[in-house]
Amino acid sequence: MEKRVMTVGKRRRSLAAAAAVLSGVLVLSACNDDDAGTAASGSPSATSQAQVDEAAEQKTSKAQITISPENGAKNASINNDAKVAVTEGKLTEVTMTSAEGTAVKGEIAADGLSWKPTGQLERATVYKIAATAVDASGLEAHENSSFTTVSKENSFIGNFTPEDGSTVGVGMPVSINFNKAITDKKAVQGGIKVTSSSGQEVVGHWFDATRLDFRPDDYWKAGSTVTLKLDLDGVEGADGVFGVQQKTVTFKVGRSQVSTVDVATKTMTVVRDGKVLRTIPISAGSPENTTYNGQMVISEKFKETRMNGATVGFTDSDGKGEYDIKDVPHAMRLSTSGTFIHGNYWGARSIFGSVNTSHGCIGLADVKGAGDPKQAAAWLYDQSITGDVVIVKNSKDDTIAPSNGLNGWNMNWSAWKAGSAL
């Protein structure tokens, strides 16, 4: 049996290898054992995880940035949702861009704690926000977010009349026509407020799922100011369909002018602020095509316009209009269905005040080209503004429907209030 003797050199090499293996075991144990905070000798480890984390925290900004909407949000508002805020620091830079790279203007508040866009965003658009802030130590924090604004398919708007800053007659209601059917009328009407400096009670009335009008019990007080406030941003008008408007509109009510057409006597009496300005001979609808009775509001004015019978159902056997006059002078609309008060140059002068000959409109003497201010139709046109009231009486027709034009005054107050969703 051979006896092997280990030399001193071999013994030293073996001990070194064993020490290396043992050292590796200790290192692995320290990385994997939560309680291993000391080396085998019992002395503290200089590379413990807690110390590493603490050192990292000392180099991290304390500023906390919050971006709204949250990253990945859909159907975000185009008015109020986009904003950035910071605590324990100040914002130094915020950039907002569309997916195409178009920059959106915005402002950091004077105190450096917030930011928001200065204008309205576009619908159905992806936006990205990148924000930077610094804390008291000058250390920077960064935050990024991306969101999508509400699409046109998932939003609604209301087209309103009268226009902001306009002056109108005492009969002008606030009329809002929505571009999508509203199913939650209470929520939508709750986001709309109409008030008058006169203190008159103003109530909304739904004619259908897309039209909401507001008016007081009686005509607006002359000289008053009416304010329409639309606060519809984020209001769900129908399932998954949200409002996007946030707007305040004011208009002035001018002098009170109410003109009364008596179909039987074929005259119109114009009264302003309680005083008669003028009585004018007219020609109303013929016995075959009578003029509506009722209170009508001038909604549009045209110095000259085309009137084609085919557009309102008056056609010949060939399907063409019974009339097609391309230059009707001094025309003012009274109904959606085509009732106007306008100048008439094609009829004999003898008809005015003596016979009713029209297809339902109210005609006044005028000249071709609308160039003579002395004509009755020209005078009335110059004296009138949208919102003035024209009352027709003693016709053999029915009272005009309240929804036909801006003519809700033909509904009594209790019925009007019954059409409110609030």
pLDDT of residue 100: 87
Distances (CA, A) of 354 to 151, 270, 278: 58, 19, 18
CA atoms within 13 A on the CB side of 42: 0
Distances (CA, A) of 267 to 4, 49, 287, 300, 347: 142, 98, 17, 22, 16
pLDDT of residue 53: 61
The residue type found at 313 is: G
Do residues 351 and 365 make contact, with C-beta atoms less than 8 angstroms apart? no
The span from the CA of 197 to the CA of 226, in Å, is 6
- Start-to-end CA distance of the chain, whole Å, equals 111
pLDDT of residue 37: 43
pLDDT of residue 322: 63
Three-state DSSP class for residue 161: strand
The span from the CA of 78 to the CA of 31, in Å, is 51
pLDDT of residue 191: 98
Residue spans of the chain under pLDDT 70: 1-47, 49-58, 309-323
pLDDT of residue 317: 62
Distances (CA, A) of 401 to 294, 309, 392, 408: 9, 21, 13, 8
Is the pTM above the cut of 0.75?
A: yes
pLDDT of residue 77: 93
Q: What is the pLDDT of residues 366-410, one digit of tens each?
A: 999 999 999 999 999 999 999 999 999 999 999 999 999 999 999
pLDDT of residue 39: 45
DSSP labels, 46-115: TT-HHHHHHHHHHTS---EEEEESPTT--SB-SSSS-EEEEESSEEEEEEEEETT--B--EEE-TTSSEE
